[in-house]
Amino acid sequence: RPPPPGRATVLLGDAAHTVKPYFGLGVNSAFEDVAAFKTALDETSSVKDAVRLFSKRRAAEARIIVQMSRSFDRGGLLGFVSFILPLILDGIFHKALPSVFAPNTLAMMQREDLRFVDVRWRKRRDRALQVAIFTAFAATFVMAVTTAVRAVVGAVLARNLTPISPISGLLAAPVAIFGARWLSQRRQVQGDVADVLAAQQKQMHEMEAKADNAAKEPELQQTGPATA
């Protein structure tokens, strides 16, 4: 029911943005809400003004985390397009160009230095770049197929099939490479969100461990072997 006149009501945590338990983000998001509300109380002179300021600052975060959580739980073809396909594409593009393309959404949601708004913006940027690359590739592929068809027709008419071989090789190479990477990523990505998230967290822990070991190597080299 609505709050009594003259009073303000604020929703925090799962009351404002419920997410699946396996994301491990419910408690963290609630703590962020509490911290943001405390800051709003410190910066305003009344609870009502604090609620308005809090809502202004946290509304986008709450909306985006709920939207992303729901998009991962869709079934059928829509679930493949909104969950499985982006994971596969992100795995391929991030591995090929890590300085340009970010990891997948699940991995980025586990980073403490990124807001959900930042994750959404970065992934939309990646999607736009991926669409541009696929569009350019498709246009190039169509032009190459047209050239190949003309070469085949010319070779058949001239009874000389020599030009077909190099053109076919040029067309088959990028398709085969992309197909191999697609199958590799598809084997790693299963349909269950919890399993994928667990795999992502394990991969992040392994990367953090490697980074820690790499950071300790100079210290070990400077210290040298222990002397008796």
pTM of the model as a whole: 0.64
Structure confidence by residue, pLDDT tens digits, 87-117: 888 888 888 888 999 988 888 887 878 888 8
Structure confidence by residue, pLDDT tens digits, 6-54: 566 788 888 888 887 767 778 888 899 999 999 999 999 988 889 889 9
Query: Is the pLDDT reported for residue 222 higher than 50?
Result: yes
Could you tell me the two tokens for 222?
């400077």
Rounded Cα–Cα distance for residues 218 and 224 (Å):
10
Q: How many CB atoms lie within 10 A of CB 149?
A: 11
Structure confidence by residue, pLDDT tens digits, 146-186: 887 777 777 666 665 554 445 455 555 566 666 666 566 55
